[in-house]
Amino acid sequence: MSKSLARVTRALEEAGIAARPVEMALGTRTAEEAAAAAGCALDQIVKSIVFLGRDSGRIHLFLTAGGNRVDAERAAALAGEPLERADADTVRAQTGFAIGGVAPLGHLAPVPVWMDARLFDFAQVWAAAGTPRHVFQVAPGDLERASGATRATFAQ
């Protein structure tokens, strides 16, 4: 088991969430691939979008429904600073995950997290589990609690 997958599994256990990551034969790097692999609606996929604060150098994580896009202006207002998309090296260094496998929990250090209200339209959603091949199914409320996310409107 990879270190990143182990961190996510441990974070789920510590949060008291019974979900277990599963490896998908099909790729899960994109929301479309993940939805096809999980057999669910596109918006049931939790996309983890990582931004870098231009002033602080701190990353900010936005969890959005698979069919939505993060509105950069709304995201910056929530973060309290101008934002830019974090590059792959920054994402890996600060979260411990590669792009395509960024989980909403199990990061190397605490990260501010916001969660798209659209995800709460579903009983269950699917999120990356630390690798581009692993995902886990979870109730949105449990994910919100376990990730420390703040529910917000930031999607287009």
Question: Judging by beta carbons within 10 Å of its beta carbon (0-12, 13-18, 19+), is residue 44 exposed, middle or buried?
Answer: buried
The pair of structure tokens assigned to 103 is 């989980």
Q: Is the pLDDT of residue 13 over 80?
A: yes
43 in Cβ contact with 116 (< 8 Å): no
- Is residue 1 over pLDDT 80? no
Domains defined for the chain, CATH in brackets? 3-152 (3.90.960.10)
> CA 103, 105, 108, 110: dihedral to nearest 10 degrees?
130
Q: What is the DSSP letter of 144?
A: H
Alpha-carbon distance of 103 to 97, in angstroms, equals 7
Kind of pairing between the strands at 125-128 and 45-53:
parallel
Nearest residue to 99 via CA among 3, 30, 147, 34: 30
End-to-end CA distance of the chain: 36
pTM of the model: 0.95
pLDDT of 25-42, one tens digit each? 877 888 998 899 899 999
